[in-house]
């Protein structure tokens, strides 16, 4: 994850799967439209990274959902199609004055974790920002701490290509 000590948007291409391998792979991205100034920037970072590494743009499906809470359902639906090498979920939850933040964070984290435990699962990558302030989100969505969408794409590529 991006912190003030490490920016994972800067990845080493040497450790990425080769273009020949990923050119025929398919990836899905579920993105929350709540806080779109953040999530849509992360989405673009994820798409750009997948394409740069060699994924055919036609093999990237993007699904928009209203908010971060709905990402688990979208990921589950995409997973049930059995056609994606990996799924990335992109969202942004910013602390407010009510416990809503805690409930949404816990629910989405648990939901995505549960999907990854399924026997028939493809990797579902958690690219959800959980920040105290809007500025912290901006810093992690193309700002001084990188773009968590790029991090999500690099993670998806690596997880989809784990060789056993």
pLDDT attached to residue 31: 98
Answer yes or no: is 103 within a domain: yes
Answer yes or no: is 16 within a domain: no
pLDDT attached to residue 8: 55
pLDDT attached to residue 24: 95
Quote the number of domains for the chain. Answer: 1
Q: Which residues are catalytic?
A: 100
pLDDT attached to residue 5: 61
Distance, in Å, from the CA atom of 162 to the CA atom of 164, rounded to the nearest integer, reads 6
| Whole-model pTM over 0.95 | no
Answer yes or no: is 2 within a domain: no
pLDDT attached to residue 6: 63
Which domain covers residue 136, as residue numbers? 25-160
Answer yes or no: is 153 within a domain: yes
Answer yes or no: is 19 within a domain: no
Low-confidence ranges of the chain (pLDDT < 50): 1
pLDDT attached to residue 91: 98
Q: Give the domain CATH number at 64.
A: 3.40.50.960
pLDDT attached to residue 10: 72
Answer yes or no: is 30 within a domain: yes
């Amino acid at each position: 994850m991006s912190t003030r000590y490490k920016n994972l948007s800067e990845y080493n291409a040497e450790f990425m799967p080769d273009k020949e391998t990923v050119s025929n792979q398919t990836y899905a991205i579920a993105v929350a439209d709540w806080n779109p100034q953040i999530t849509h920037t992360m989405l673009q970072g994820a798409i750009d990274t997948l394409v740069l590494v060699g994924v055919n743009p036609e093999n990237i499906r993007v699904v928009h959902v209203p908010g971060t809470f709905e990402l688990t359902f979208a990921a589950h639906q995409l997973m049930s199609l059995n056609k994606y090498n990996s799924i990335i979920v992109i969202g942004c939850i910013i602390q407010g004055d009510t416990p809503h933040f805690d409930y949404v964070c816990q629910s989405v984290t648990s939901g995505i974790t549960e999907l990854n435990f399924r026997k028939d699962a493809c990797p579902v990558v958690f690219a959800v920002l959980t920040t105290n302030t809007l500025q912290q989100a901006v810093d992690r969505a193309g700002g001084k701490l990188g773009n968590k969408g790029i991090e999500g794409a690099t993670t998806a590529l690596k997880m989809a290509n784990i060789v056993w």
